[in-house]
Structure 1
Amino acid sequence: MELLNLHKDGPKIELFDVQQVNEVAEKIKQQFQAIQEAETVGIMEAVGRVLASDVVSKEDVPGFHRSTVDGYAVKASNTYGSSESMPSFFQIIGSVEMGKNVDQEIHEGEAMYVPTGGMMPKGADAVVMIEDVEVIGDLLNVFEQVAPRENVIFQGEDVKLNEVILKKGHRLRPQDLGGLAAIGITEVTVYRKIKVGILSTGDELVPPDTKKLLPGQIRDINGISISAAVQALGGEVIYGGIVTDEFAEYLRRSKELYDQVDFLILSGGSSMGTKDYSSRVMNELGQPGVFVHGVAIKPGKPTIIANCNGKPVMGLPGHPVSAMVLFDLFGTQILNQLHGVEPNRFAKQLKAKISRNVASQVGRTDFVRVQLEIRDEELWAIPVFGKSGLITNLVRSDGMIEIPEFKEGIVEGEWVNVTLFS
């Protein structure tokens, strides 16, 4: 990194060694390893946690053939050719009760009533919906033909015995927990939560609960928004509060928090001003130290990332929009790596048309915040422009689009990928 000497005996300021977004992502991938400590938790507490081993079903789901509709269980071949003008006829031999075993067997020309979710009698391979039949005493008229397996879920069709239903490294979602409950699994082995320390820096910052601001003061936004983003990814936050722009105190408080966590985030103090001490603090915390000091991106150029004795330390810009964009890009990647997650970067993406021309500078990746809107049954992305210090820009946005470093911009009506905010 180059150093600029302001005057003979004055302070030296580190200039940015600006790197492209893809370069930074690749370096992060090489620097940090998953923390493989596991624990067992109940499924009611497992949402957002990451599996430390494969989940294998010990049974078939469903455990019996079951109907998906209210209707009559029959042999499908007996219904072939059925129509309004030429119904087929069946003898009704009984009905199935919910939650009860069925001992009767269906033979040629026979039918049994079965409710939605009810067990199929032996010999039946399809269900005729109740709206397609007429009942006259014990006689059933069928006006629609059905195919084998129609309106039936067969035993093991959902999950088979010994099937791997969720793989190690998967972050558990609400629907996954429902799937676990379906196969009788009430506890899972997951990696422990990653502890993330967040320390906000700046003489101008005061706690969010400050009732009256003095001239020059602002409430700490990043401490709250970044904490929430970490928790949404299954991390555990240790908030270190606010530290003033005094190097010795900044270093002391950072070291204190660093010793308690797996990943330290320093909010503010990552730009080129004489009081921005983050890179110095990081290099003091451990080796090899800072490996990213500046990213060719807008917003968020003054971002610092360090490897301090194998532990990630990230310096985010103080501006709330820049901080959130950069955390979404690189903080999320680091947290996923520590959790052992292989993220699907397309899971939160959708396509929309851009509503206006947006210029960009070649050699720099631009991230533009957008609102989504339906126009004439098409999805449109409307850019939300504004300075990176304005938090309402994020509040008004549904997601962001990326303009790669090799493009000069995008034109109105062009299809773009929108990455949704969590």
Structure 2
Amino acid sequence: MDDSAELFSVTSPRKALQELLQLLSPPTLPEETVPLAASLGRYLARDIIAPEQVPPFTRSTMDGYAIRSRDTFGASGSNPVYLELVGKVSMGEAARIEVGAGQAAAIATGGMMPPGADAVLMIEYTDLVDETTLEAIRPVGPGENIIGAGKDIERGETLLAAGARLRPQELGAMAALGITKVSVRRPVKVGILSTGDEIVDIDERPGPGRIRDINQYSLAAATRETGAEARSLGICPDEAAQLETSILRGIEECELVLVSGGSSVGVADLTPRVINSLGEPGVLVHGLAVKPGKPTILALVRDTPVFGLPGHAISTLDIFRLVVAPVIRFLFSGKEDATGPEPTVRARIGRNIASVAGRVDRHRVVLRHDNGQLWAEPLLGKSGLISLMVKAEGVAVIPLEAEGVSRGDELEVELI
């Protein structure tokens, strides 16, 4: 029996991922210091400790009037309270007026609260009787519509933990603290190797039986989306010695290696045999209980994760989302993330779809709204169709235990 056929058996994506992560130790990636503006998508190397408090002063969270809350108790539309308007708090300046009993000062959102005031009455609940008289038709409680100094972020607080990936909101929070430079991890290096006698680079015109190297470019883009660095290992023909040399080069230069193509069971598919010969433990899983993407390989060679991905473009990107991206995140942060952060919605499937219990089926869909319901319409076609990648807005997931779905059934849809 062929060695690759002996290796081939299916495992659920989650179980396969856990099997690999249990054996994997995240590398200690070197630190880099980058400007805050260049840190988006990077992974923190150190905790971010707040050097000061936010806000630095008690401020208003609404447009209105700074008042003493007790002066408004009992106010209503039929029984208004009248306050003396003593001035206005200018934005960007310290409050120069003091609010006494029965008084009010105009204030904008973000303005510094003047001494004496303990609340802000929203402008919607007031009326100017004249230049110095304000009518209040609603009571406010102490602390209403204001935020105290340091109530958002306290000085010395751990704002962000090492290993966190920086999003726009994290950059905004650090900007509020005056942090201009950030210590981040050097990107995980991902080597990408395309295999197959039929593959040519995209600047060549394919001859008979040849195709351009789609996966090198789509996988590189998907890799960069995770915050990692994509490194091309080129195109390798279906020849064992060259394949071994290329994979070993990737293991030496990178923290993770992707081999596109050559994972199916067949005479010309050398990838599983070569990977398994490179060192212990070698191939951990060959075959996922998922469609498309069944002939996927998860391996560990010399403490480096090596993935054998299907050659079909859609299958390759699906498997990347399912098992490769979580491993990249683990290499950055040391934290298991089997599900990933991909946004999902619930939608009704637009047609009957057959499935098999014990296998996760993933179908490209377009989304539409109809009478307040979100529908997912499957795109028909085989996993090798390039056009499906471009047309799809999501992936409808038929779970492992289901034996198909009927039109109108609600499914989880991963947005892509």
User: TM-score normalised by the shorter chain: which range applies?
Assistant: over 0.9
Determine if the alignment matches structure 1 residue 336 to structure 2 residue 329: yes
| Cα distance in 2 for residues equivalent to 1:158 and 1:347 | 28
| Pair 1:342–1:18, CA change in 2 (3 A) | closer
Verify: 1:175 aligned to 2:169, yes or no.
yes
CA distance in 2, matches of 1:179, 1:13: 53
Corresponding position: 1:64 with 2:57: yes
Aligned-partner residue type, residue 197 of structure 2: D
Q: How does 1:131-280 map to 2 (within 5 A)?
A: 131=124, 132-210=126-204, 212-280=205-273
Q: Aligned letter for 1:208?
A: I
Which deviates more from structure 2 when the two are superposed, residues 77-86 or residues 243-252? Answer: 77-86
* Range 397-406 or range 308-317, more displaced: 397-406
Encode CA deviations 1:267-315: one digit per residue, 9 max, x unaligned. 0111122121111321343322111111222111111121101101111
Q: CA deviation at 1:182?
A: 1.0
Identify which of 285, 296, 308 aligns with 2:301. 308
Q: Contact (CA 8 Å) 2:326, 2:336: kept in 1 or not?
A: no
For 2:366, the equivalent position in structure 1 comes to 371
Q: CA deviation at 1:266?
A: 0.6
Offset at 1:42?
A: 2.3
**Contact residue 201 and residue 244 of structure 1 kept, 8 A:** yes
Contact kept in structure 1, 2:13 and 2:323, CA below 8 Å: no
Alpha-carbon shift at residue 184 of structure 1 (Å): 1.8
Deviation at 1:365, TM superposition (A): 2.1
Counterpart amino acid of residue 149 in structure 2 = Q
Query: Structure 2: which 5+ residue stretches go unaligned?
Result: none
Equivalents in 2 of 1:139, 1:13: separation in Å?
88
Runs of 4+ in structure 1 deviating by more than 4 angstroms, as ranges, are 12-15
Task: Work out the number of aligned pairs and report it.
Answer: 412
Counterpart pick for 1:409 among 392, 404, 414: 404
Structure 1 106/342 Cα, relative in aligned 2: closer, same or farther at 3 Å? farther
Alignment of structure 1 residues 24-63 onto 2, 5 Å:
24-39=16-31, 40-63=33-56
Tell me whether 1:394 sits opposite 2:389 in the alignment. Answer: yes
SS of the residue aligned with 2:45? Answer: coil
Match for residue 9 of structure 1? none
Which position in structure 2 is the counterpart of 1:290? 283
Give the distance between the partners of 1:84 and 1:362, measured in 2 at CA: 64
Secondary structure of the structure 1 residue equivalent to 2:217 = helix
Name the CA distance, whole Å, in 2 between partners of 1:389 and 1:376: 34
8 Å CA contact 1:90–1:109 kept in 2: the answer is yes
8 A contact 2:291–2:362 mirrored in 1: yes
SS of residue in 2 equivalent to 1:231: helix
Aligned to 2:344: 349
Q: Normalising by structure 1, what TM-score?
A: 0.91
Q: Provide the C-alpha distance between the structure 1 equivalents of 2:106 and 2:297, rounded to a whole number of angstroms.
A: 68
3-state SS, counterpart of residue 253 of structure 2 = coil
Q: Which amino acid aligns with 1:178?
A: G
Relative to structure 1, is the Cα distance of residues 245 and 29 closer, same or farther in structure 2, using a 3 angstrom cutoff? same
How big is each residue's C-alpha offset from its partner over 1:199-235, in whole Å with a ceiling of 9 and x where there is no partner?
111122122233x332222111111111111100000
Is the 8 Å Cα contact of residues 20 and 284 (structure 2) preserved in structure 1?
no
Q: Which residue of 2 aligns with 1:18?
A: 10
Q: Once the 2 structures are TM-superposed, how far is the Cα of residue 338 of structure 1 from its aligned partner?
A: 0.8
Q: CA 1:260–1:15 in 2, change beyond 3 Å: closer, same or farther?
A: closer
Deviation at 1:159, TM superposition (A): 1.6
Does structure 2 conserve the Cα–Cα contact (< 8 Å) formed by 1:14 and 1:272? Answer: no
Distance in 2, matches of 1:353 and 1:105, equals 59
Judging changes above 3 Å, is the alpha-carbon distance between structure 1 residues 349 and 390 closer, same or farther for their aligned structure 2 residues?
same
Q: 1:23: Cα distance to partner?
A: 2.3
CA distance in 2, matches of 1:396, 1:385: 11
Mark the CA change 1:335 to 1:208 in structure 2 (over 3 Å): closer, same or farther: same
Aligned to 2:292: 299
Cα pair 1:15 1:272 within 8 Å, conserved: no
The one-letter amino acid of 2:291's match is: K
User: 5+ residue gaps in structure 1?
Assistant: 6-11
- C-alpha distance in 2, partners of 1:38/1:240? 23
Normalised to the residue count of structure 2, the TM-score between the two structures is 0.93
| Paired residue type of 1:348 | P
Distance 2:341 2:234 in 1: 34
